[in-house]
Structure 1
Amino acid sequence: MTKVVHKFGGSSLSSAERYQAVAQIVLSHCRAGDCVVVSAAGKTTNTLVKLWESYQQDDSQGFSDILLQVENHQAELIRALFESQQQHTLLEQLDLELQRITSHAKQDTLHEATLLAHGELWSARLLACYLSQLGFAAEHVDARNLFTLHHGQLLHQQNKQACMERLKDTSLYVVTGFIASDVEKNTVTLGRNGSDYSATLLASYIDADAVSIWTDTQGVFSTDPRKVANAIKYPKVCRAQAHLLARLGNPVLHAKTLSPLKHSKIKLQVRSSFDVESPPTEIVKEGYSKAKRFITTFEDLDLVRVDAIAPGEVGQLSQIIQHSIHHFSAQGETFILVPAQSTHRVLKALSGRANIVESALQGFAVVAPSANIAQLQAQAAQLLHEQNIVVRFNHKDNEYALFLTDQAIDSDVLAILHDKLVNKGRELAVVIAGLGNVGEVFVNQCQRQVAHLQQQFDVKVVALLRSKKMLFSANGISLSAWQQQWQNESVDYNNEDLIERIGELDYEHKVVIDITASEEFSKLYPQLVKQDCHLISANKYAGTAESTWYQQLREQLNERSLHWRYNTSVGAGLPINFALADLQHSGDKVTQIEGVFSGTLSWLCSSFDGSKPFSSLVLEAKDMGYTEPDPREDLSGRDMQRKLLILARDIGLTLDLADIELEPLMPDDLAQGSWDEFLARKGELDSFYEHLYQQGITQDKVLRYTGSLQVFASGKAKAKVGIAYVDKSSAIANLTPGDNIFVIKSVWYEDNPLVLQGPGAGKEVTAAGVHSDLYWLVQRLK
């Protein structure tokens, strides 16, 4: 059964109205078996911390005053949410618990973690009771009965068993965040903001499918959206960057939250409980999202140098001060960043092994892909200099650059930094399918072409596909070493895997470049369009598919404002599709297209002079790579038939392959059987072609294999691909072997046709034609 864990923070439960809003979210998004993890309502934990401090200071009056604040807040929630009988019961429970706190304080037996636990216990109880009042089967659960630690380490197997036994599929469970117990049943906490950690721990223990962290923000932003109006909300953030941001003190996610999900398929998303309709930010596994750019700011920190720090010690220090601590090494020394109000506790815990290097620091960190960090560090330093902000400490790591300053980074300065360091040009993710002759040349040409396009657009090749293997990297593949990367990192995939990975790509634009000759791959186009992919095709199958399927694909592309370029599907690199489009856009009307649309058949017919058998030329062309693996595919004329259909559809005709008459350049019965059987009968092909050739001589014409499309005034059309005899003086007769030619007549080009001629085959020119389509797409997206 699918299970989801929802976590609501203190701001989501800060008032009766917020409890009601959360209850509506639960009613809409949860079912029996799901779990809801809650933090203490509003600022309850802060108030309880002050209560503890007044207790430690033996300030009885302060203790009483703060306890009254706690009571008033909880009582106010109860009176606003519940009807008389339930209200009375809950107020009595609250009164008993407050009396118990007072009694422990007087007896000097008050325990810090037990005191702080009340915030979560009250939240869980109130939300579960309120949901029950609304008719939803809900129970509140004390996480101290689920999570046990020994010497600070979670007993995962024991905890998993406890969760499985306690949390069935019969109810919704509202579970306390932040708290757990040790093996002696003493209350312990999981650290400040530990409720997020509680939620992901619980999800891992109950084998949940997903975790939703509901907060007061709409997701994860490039910087604080309260300070920078054009902060970018990211739809996806990879776990590694989310973890780094948490270590640097970003308030949306916290340092330990991600660790329980490390080796799981559990989905994590950050959502707004204040704006339920706003799409979430998904925190995804490495490789499922490109690295982003962030600026996260600091206030009132001390920089502490530590002589030696043991594994896990930073986590222990974070636990002591209930706050994230970031540590790093620079010039052979270890440093930690500590909130200034907690520095004395950290120094005490480190027992003389640490000293303050800089105090009362402000500043920020730029988090970005490692390839960008050096440049961003230099840019940031220059911007700070221009703003007259003194940098007291600067540090660069693989994934971030740290700047600690005297002055606070106010909203105006942060906006300037964000504009210069984060807001970049638009991004295009490129998926290349097909690494055969043309595909390999295209990828090798890509390094230079992408560098050229980068001046206008951030273009990254994120996937390479060959047969059933793929190389996929959301951050971009190194084109200078793609073959080595392919050898080391390519994996098997199926179509479902591919569509999922492409769907996960969080680029502004995506394009799939199909350089396969696979009909199966072309059938994925509708699914790719649903993932908002533009299409570039050298593959002819989609363009010649059955009319209904083809028209539906066109409609889907139009609905999503997506582009489909396929200039190389006809004529290799010749701009025939561009020419036809320009004619029609200018108001002209195409009346006839005739020509040779196959480089292979062009070469064969133009090279034959009777001096050697036609089959010898076919085998020669095969050895030179001019033909398909089985040259009968070329001789069948089906390739030219598909090309003529693409051209017909380009000028607005609704035709199918069956509407184009086809005459093969070989006897029909030679199409049957294996290639070896064909070779044994190649003499029949020679006799067939020799007969046709002699007929041409008799007519004083030359033999060519052509496609012809004629459009009548009525709008009807006649189309044929087959053997033709043309005048010796015609451009088609004098075609350079291997060239394609397109002779186009229109209303404006009736007496003097428009002629396009050039190489119609060849991996270099075809690859260049695909690059032309990619360049066109980038210009259009600009």
Structure 2
Amino acid sequence: MYILKFGGSSLASPDRIKLVAKTIKKHLEEDSVISVFSAFGGVTNDLLLMAELAAKEDLNYKEILERNEQRHLDAIKELIPVTAQSSILSNVKSQFNRLETLYEGVYLLNELSDKTRHVISGFGELLSSLIIAEYFKSIKIDSKFVDSRELIVCKNQNEKVQVNYAKTNANLHSFFEKNKADLFIVPGFVAKNDLGVPSTLGRGGSDFTAAIIAGALDVKRVFIYTDVNGMFTANPNLVPHAYSLKDISYEEAMELSHFGAKVLYPPTLQPLLDKNIEIHIKNTFQPEEAGTVISKSSKKNFRWVTGITHIDSIKLLNIEGSGMVGIPGFSKRFFEILFQENINVVLITQASSEHSICIAVKADEAEQAKEALDEAFEMEISLKKIKPVEIESNVAIIALVGDRMKSHHGLSGKMFSALGNNNINIRAIAQGSSERNISAVISKKDVTKALNTLHEQFFEVPSKEINLFITGVGNVGSKLLAQLKKQENYLLDKLRLKIRVLGLSNSRKMLFDQDGIDLNKWGDLLKKNGETASKEEFFKNVKKFNLRNCIFVDNTASPEISGWYKHYLGNSISVVTCNKIACADDFENYQNLQDLAREYGASFLYETNVGAGLPIIDTLQNLVASGDRINKIQAVLSGSLNFVFNNYDASEPFYKIVEKAMEEGYTEPDPKIDLSGVDVARKILILARESGLRLELDDIERDDFLSEESLNSESNEKFFELLERDESDFKKIYESAVSKNSELKYVAQLEDGKAKVGLQEVGATHPFANLSGSDNIVLFFTDRYPEQPLIVKGAGAGAEVTASGIFADIIRIGKK
């Protein structure tokens, strides 16, 4: 004999009921079937809602009742031939008349008792089972309706169910010995108490009904049909990469279902454990799928962690005070009070100092628990030996579950490290001695991020999802997006990095897509679907997404955007930038950003601030970290200035060379930033700070080769006019260098704690000579490299190499 159970989602429409019939017929080919049915999808919620409305004297319940009656009548008309409808139509209308009478009583009394609630909530299963039984008769299957209220005896108080198994098992044995049929139709969820008063088995109790029958009749397996392919590694609605588990143990299933896995009602396992009856969780709509088998052992599951789950409808209660320390029986009193109030404790933690006890309870029982505890400990509170109970809301419990966890070291460390790295604060921790469950209390807003973080850590092919939010999609930004798209498969295959762009912004518009922006058409999407750009709203959206492994990428030269770095870092969102302004700002701000990155576990990377894609800052940081001392730095750090002076030979006006540098993307949008030396001064300032010096931008000595008037020009147009005017000065500078067989280089130097920048004439034997195009070069003179400096040399400007440097910083974060 097979025991099958079908949930409400499987019965949401007549078409779905017909699909259920096909599955039952398949089982009937092998043996007889007892099939347990829930109410039609959503009906039980409506029944309870109507009761609440009636108790509040809200007549809207009548409209909902009429709608539900019509739904059931329509199902009869679609499922059952007209010639066979009369009896079931009369029966269903009679049931709804009784329901209407019950609601009228609740309305008139303005009161909804537990007894009435249980009677009302059971109507959904009775109605669905009656209709389905008639349907099977109409398709010529030997079927029989069984009223489970006459067989299952239980005591129900505040959703806590106690089954009288002696009476129930005797009733079930007697009934199925005396009655024979191919198919028995049984309403789930409903029962009666010892006095014969209608009761229920708790929400989700149809699973329990099937398990009770299976245990009594000692069958080999129970099939629970639902709308998913078994129990999953995590909630698939919150974790896209979650997948179904083929085999788990009773204990694992119990932990997962208790902690929020709604596929299985927790008490279902109770009647099956001792008899080792298997539970098969199957999908009604994909019955060919394997689903999940729950049995005594889960040896086929090779992972240390079986699943990740959570409960979000809880609150924390905390009691603390010196009056608890060393007082025998305090915990006994505490938990006895909760027992007397019929309040179940979901999680318990107590400090070894005995100074505090923290528990989690159902959210709707928290106030009741606080009132009872404060009243019981009124004397201790008045004497200030303990504080009144504190309630903390907006929290949730997440849990790792697995039989094999107890034989593997370091799982707790991996769990808490993964959460900490994503700025998920843990309020309380609990782990039983069986080590089958590690639970942590976190903020409710972090649940989705926590589940995905832990799933990535414990279940996914060792890969890591990086979520990018990019501002600045011009020259550098567009090249970065192209590189990301081109390397997408390589990163996943070789580095196990899945990089998604979820947000884009330019100065006018911004675009967000939590599923990832299509990098093949990001420009069109930004133009057509983008909303008005706002630095504040961009940050709010990134924060609202609350995803793991987030990186804010700044491809601009905007001081306003750099001012937002502290907000991102302070929310554990890493920052990658080619914008030099933040690191060349006041030293206090520079140091604050470094401190924020360390405090909140975020990365702050700005390799492209100096030398575009060259590993200059990384090399310097490694020298300092390894104990070397920087004695002197000499460098050509402006790709734009190097390009200009490499190409200027007085045969073509100086301003034309500068225009060409702009066109090829070697300068900032405002070329004065490059030609004034401010950009180089910022770069040597950053290197000085990375060397351990506390310098400000004003401390950098600057030797200008431009006229003061051109430096103060208010537009690019005016600036180029003045460059054209000063052409004779540039010729003199060039001719002076040529006469000495030298080249012109704009050089930055740091020595003895002082820094300066300026145009210099470099001889033919100097390392700076023959530096071509936009190349940069840096000479590090250190204790380890006193005479022959460590040299870093290469392309130091251009959108392509700058984008590649930003890309490298993103990968560096991804590989952490």
| TM-score using structure 2 length | 0.50
Q: 1:151 aligned to 2:66?
A: no
Q: Could you say which residue in structure 1 is the equivalent of 2:673?
A: 633
Deviation string, structure 1 residues 474-510 (Cα, Å, up to 9, x no partner): 3433334433433443222433322322222333332
CA distance in 1, matches of 2:648, 2:703: 19
Amino acid at match of 1:152: I
Q: 1:738 aligns with which of 774, 787, 790?
A: 774
Q: Could you say which residue in structure 2 is the equivalent of 1:104?
A: none
| Matched-pair contact (CA < 8 Å) for 2:639–2:774 | yes
Q: 1:753 aligned to 2:789?
A: yes
| Matched-pair contact (CA < 8 Å) for 2:613–2:796 | yes
Q: 2:750 aligns with which of 693, 702, 709?
A: 709
Q: 2:624 aligns with which of 573, 584, 590?
A: 584
| Matched-pair contact (CA < 8 Å) for 2:748–2:758 | yes
| Matched-pair contact (CA < 8 Å) for 1:462–1:473 | yes
Amino acid at match of 2:567: Q
Structure 1 residues 368-767: aligned runs within 5 Å: 393=283, 395=285, 408=294, 412=298, 416=306, 423-424=459-460, 427-454=465-492, 455-671=495-711, 672-710=713-751, 712=752, 717-767=753-803
CA distance in 2, matches of 1:371, 1:533: 21
| Matched-pair contact (CA < 8 Å) for 1:511–1:533 | yes
Question: SS of 1:428's equivalent?
Answer: strand
Q: 1:338 to 1:513 in 2, by over 3 A?
A: same
| Matched-pair contact (CA < 8 Å) for 1:430–1:512 | yes
Structure 1 residues 19-34: aligned runs within 5 Å: none
| Matched-pair contact (CA < 8 Å) for 1:514–1:539 | yes
Q: Could you say which residue in structure 2 is the equivalent of 1:267?
A: none
Q: Could you say which residue in structure 2 is the equivalent of 1:262?
A: none
- Which segment drifts farther, 466-475 or 683-692? 466-475
CA distance in 2, matches of 1:691, 1:555: 48
Deviation at 1:437, TM superposition (A): 0.7
Q: Could you say which residue in structure 2 is the equivalent of 1:309?
A: none
Question: SS of 2:646's equivalent?
Answer: helix
Deviation string, structure 1 residues 369-422 (Cα, Å, up to 9, x no partner): 79997x976x756999xx9987865646xxxx9968695477848964668998
CA distance in 1, matches of 2:673, 2:738: 27
Q: Could you say which residue in structure 1 is the equivalent of 2:16?
A: none
CA distance in 2, matches of 1:552, 1:697: 47
Deviation at 1:572, TM superposition (A): 0.6
Deviation at 1:618, TM superposition (A): 1.4
- Which segment drifts farther, 566-575 or 446-455? 446-455
CA distance in 1, matches of 2:66, 2:705: 75
| Matched-pair contact (CA < 8 Å) for 1:597–1:707 | yes
Deviation string, structure 1 residues 420-475 (Cα, Å, up to 9, x no partner): 99833554322222111111111121134454444534543222222253222334
CA distance in 2, matches of 1:434, 1:708: 31
Amino acid at match of 1:696: A
| Matched-pair contact (CA < 8 Å) for 1:502–1:531 | no
| Matched-pair contact (CA < 8 Å) for 1:471–1:489 | yes
Q: Could you say which residue in structure 1 is the equivalent of 2:137?
A: none
Q: 1:677 to 1:191 in 2, by over 3 A?
A: farther
Q: Could you say which residue in structure 2 is the equivalent of 1:209?
A: none
Q: Could you say which residue in structure 2 is the equivalent of 1:364?
A: 230
CA distance in 2, matches of 1:680, 1:408: 81
CA distance in 1, matches of 2:729, 2:203: 83
Q: Could you say which residue in structure 2 is the equivalent of 1:274?
A: none
CA distance in 1, matches of 2:208, 2:641: 79
Deviation at 1:627, TM superposition (A): 2.4
Deviation at 1:567, TM superposition (A): 0.7
Q: Could you say which residue in structure 2 is the equivalent of 1:83?
A: none
Q: Could you say which residue in structure 2 is the equivalent of 1:236?
A: none
Question: SS of 2:744's equivalent?
Answer: strand
- Which segment drifts farther, 751-760 or 477-486? 477-486
Question: SS of 1:551's equivalent?
Answer: helix
Consecutive unaligned residues in structure 1, runs of 5 or more:
1-111, 122-141, 156-179, 196-300, 305-320, 326-336, 343-357
Question: SS of 1:511's equivalent?
Answer: strand
CA distance in 1, matches of 2:635, 2:787: 17
Q: 1:499 to 1:392 in 2, by over 3 A?
A: closer
| Matched-pair contact (CA < 8 Å) for 2:247–2:293 | no
Question: SS of 2:583's equivalent?
Answer: helix
Q: 1:303 to 1:372 in 2, by over 3 A?
A: farther
Q: 1:508 to 1:609 in 2, by over 3 A?
A: same
| Matched-pair contact (CA < 8 Å) for 2:223–2:279 | no
CA distance in 1, matches of 2:793, 2:599: 35
CA distance in 1, matches of 2:540, 2:693: 35
CA distance in 2, matches of 1:607, 1:493: 39
CA distance in 1, matches of 2:676, 2:660: 18
Amino acid at match of 2:743: V
Deviation at 1:707, TM superposition (A): 1.1
CA distance in 1, matches of 2:778, 2:185: 74
Question: SS of 1:681's equivalent?
Answer: helix
CA distance in 2, matches of 1:752, 1:382: 65
Deviation string, structure 1 residues 3-23 (Cα, Å, up to 9, x no partner): xxxxxxxxxxxxxxxxxxxxx
Deviation string, structure 1 residues 608-652 (Cα, Å, up to 9, x no partner): 222222122112222333323332232111111111111111111
| TM-score using structure 1 length | 0.52
CA distance in 1, matches of 2:185, 2:760: 86
Deviation at 1:733, TM superposition (A): 2.1
Q: 1:145 to 1:685 in 2, by over 3 A?
A: farther
Deviation at 1:146, TM superposition (A): 5.7
Percent identity for Structure 1 against Structure 2: 28
- Which segment drifts farther, 694-703 or 420-429? 420-429
Question: SS of 1:152's equivalent?
Answer: helix
Question: SS of 2:627's equivalent?
Answer: coil
Question: SS of 1:691's equivalent?
Answer: helix
Deviation string, structure 1 residues 111-130 (Cα, Å, up to 9, x no partner): x99x9999989xxxxxxxxx
Q: 1:770 aligned to 2:806?
A: yes
Amino acid at match of 1:654: R
Q: 1:429 to 1:118 in 2, by over 3 A?
A: closer
Question: SS of 1:535's equivalent?
Answer: strand
CA distance in 1, matches of 2:799, 2:48: 70
Q: 1:669 to 1:185 in 2, by over 3 A?
A: same
| Matched-pair contact (CA < 8 Å) for 1:148–1:154 | no
Q: Could you say which residue in structure 2 is the equivalent of 1:100?
A: none
Q: 1:381 to 1:594 in 2, by over 3 A?
A: same
